[in-house]
């Protein structure tokens, strides 16, 4: 990793972006990533409770320990990601005002925060099951070491490699209730794994010049937009059969999941007619966020039908 560099404009102007300590903290832990992953952790928890015949309120302590523990481990991993990427973040528009770039937070404090959150999160996870704890830590290792430190700057397949850690949260939730991990738990993992490449490819197209400047070999940087779009459609098509591994959730869910998959393809086809790659990527990126939220919330809702 290159030496730490503060955001040049902030140094020249003598001014830093006006943010509170709380806002800086939320930026360091990437609160958006934490929140979105907690949705899938909770879904895994809820479905494990539902299909094992356990009562939610009778297991409220395990639920809380799992949500708190996984949130802290994810937050700690994100803080360490910020620490590792301090040298390339100034080169990208979307990351150049992170506290690690502006100098509002020192590298040492970021590292302490990251490892501290991981330690506290591990403590809470140990109050659930060993399986859930191990899965959570494997996910953290995969994100911080395998993805951020190794593959992100070296391999064009970095997005696929990084998808492993992003697919772990529902397994954490399920394992906290049922350490044996039913086939449905692995189905949630696969859905999350296959969802991430098209989601991040769309982001990479939107930010292609930033990634190019930072020297990150994202697929559109190395292979171009057309190849990236083909890969995107390929991963979406691969999602089509996965909801059928969740037959226990019923026909209404299968119909909804299939419609969401079809809708993603149609969104891409319609957006392509505008002959604007950035607009296509924006439409696909926004749809991917809605897709994930609707699908996982629906998994919970259908258990009441």
- Domains defined along the chain, listed by start: 20-304 (1.10.600)
Query: What average pLDDT does this structure show over 139-163?
Result: 97
At residue 20, the pLDDT reads 86
CA dihedral 102, 107, 110, 114 (to 10 degrees): 140
The Cα 74–Cα 55 span in angstroms is 27
Query: How many C-alpha atoms does 178 have within 13 Å on its Cβ side?
Result: 21
Q: Which residues of 217-232 are buried (b: 16+ CB within 10 A; e: fewer)?
A: bbbbbeeebeebbebb
pLDDT over 80 at 113, yes or no:
yes
Residue 165 in tokens: 């850690």
Triad 55, 61, 64: Cα angle to 5°: 105
Q: At what angle do helices 277-301 and 225-239 cross, to 10 degrees?
A: 20
At residue 38, the pLDDT reads 97
Question: If we measure between CA atoms, which residue out of 25, 31, 40 comes closest to residue 99?
Answer: 25
At residue 13, the pLDDT reads 43
pLDDT digits (tens, 9 = 90+) for 18-44: 778 899 999 999 999 999 999 999 999
User: Which residue bears the tokens 């102007």?
Assistant: 13
Query: What average pLDDT does this structure show over 229-254?
Result: 97
pLDDT over 80 at 93, yes or no:
yes
Query: What average pLDDT does this structure show over 130-136?
Result: 98
Query: What average pLDDT does this structure show over 214-222?
Result: 96
The Cα 295–Cα 297 span in angstroms is 6
Query: What average pLDDT does this structure show over 239-260?
Result: 97
pLDDT over 60 at 108, yes or no:
yes
At residue 12, the pLDDT reads 36
Q: Which residue has the higher pLDDT, 47 or 98?
A: 47
pLDDT over 60 at 177, yes or no:
yes
Q: CB under 8 Å to 162, separation ≥6 — which residues?
A: 143, 147, 151, 152, 196, 200
At residue 2, the pLDDT reads 33
Tell me the pLDDT band of 148, cut-offs 50, 70 and 90. very high
Residue 84 in tokens: 């590792």
What mean pLDDT value characterizes the chain?
93
Q: CB under 8 Å to 125, separation ≥6 — which residues?
A: 65, 66, 69, 70, 73, 132, 133, 136, 137, 172, 176
At residue 16, the pLDDT reads 55
At residue 103, the pLDDT reads 86
Residue 27 in tokens: 């930026």
Query: What average pLDDT does this structure show over 88-99?
Result: 86
Report the predicted TM-score, pTM, of the whole model to 2 decimal places: 0.92
pLDDT digits (tens, 9 = 90+) for 48-63: 999 999 999 999 999 9
Q: In sequence order, which ranges of 53-157 are alpha helices (DSSP H)?
A: 60-84, 99-102, 107-125, 130-141
Tell me the pLDDT band of 285, cut-offs 50, 70 and 90. very high
């Amino acid at each position: 990793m290159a030496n730490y560099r503060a955001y040049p404009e902030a140094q020249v102007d003598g001014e830093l972006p006006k943010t509170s300590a709380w806002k800086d903290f939320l930026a360091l832990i990437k609160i958006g990533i934490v929140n979105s992953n907690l949705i899938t952790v909770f879904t895994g928890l809820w479905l494990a409770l539902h299909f094992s015949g356990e009562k939610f309120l009778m297991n409220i302590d395990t639920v809380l320990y799992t949500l708190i523990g996984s949130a802290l481990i994810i937050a700690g991993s994100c803080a360490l990601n910020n620490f590792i990427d301090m040298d390339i973040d100034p080169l990208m528009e979307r990351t150049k005002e992170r506290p690690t770039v502006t100098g509002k937070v020192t590298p040492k404090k970021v590292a302490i925060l990251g490892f501290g959150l991981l330690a506290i999160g591990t403590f809470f996870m140990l109050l659930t099951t060993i399986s859930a704890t191990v899965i959570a830590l494997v996910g953290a290792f995969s994100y911080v070491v395998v993805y951020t430190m190794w593959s992100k700057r070296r391999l064009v397949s970095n997005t696929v490699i990084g998808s492993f850690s992003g697919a772990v949260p529902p397994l954490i939730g399920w394992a906290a209730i049922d350490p044996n991990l039913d086939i449905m738990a692995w189905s949630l993992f696969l859905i999350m794994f296959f969802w991430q490449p098209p989601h991040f490819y769309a982001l990479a197209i939107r930010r292609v010049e930033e990634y190019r400047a930072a020297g990150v070999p994202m697929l559109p940087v190395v292979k171009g937009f057309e190849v990236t779009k083909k890969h995107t459609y390929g991963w979406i098509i691969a999602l089509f059969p996965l909801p059928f591994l969740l037959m226990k959730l019923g026909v209404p869910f299968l119909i909804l999941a299939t419609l969401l998959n079809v809708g993603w393809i149609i969104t891409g086809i319609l957006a392509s007619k505008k002959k604007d790659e950035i607009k296509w990527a924006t439409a696909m990126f926004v749809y991917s966020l809605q897709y994930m939220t609707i699908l996982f919330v629906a998994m919970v809702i259908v258990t009441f039908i």
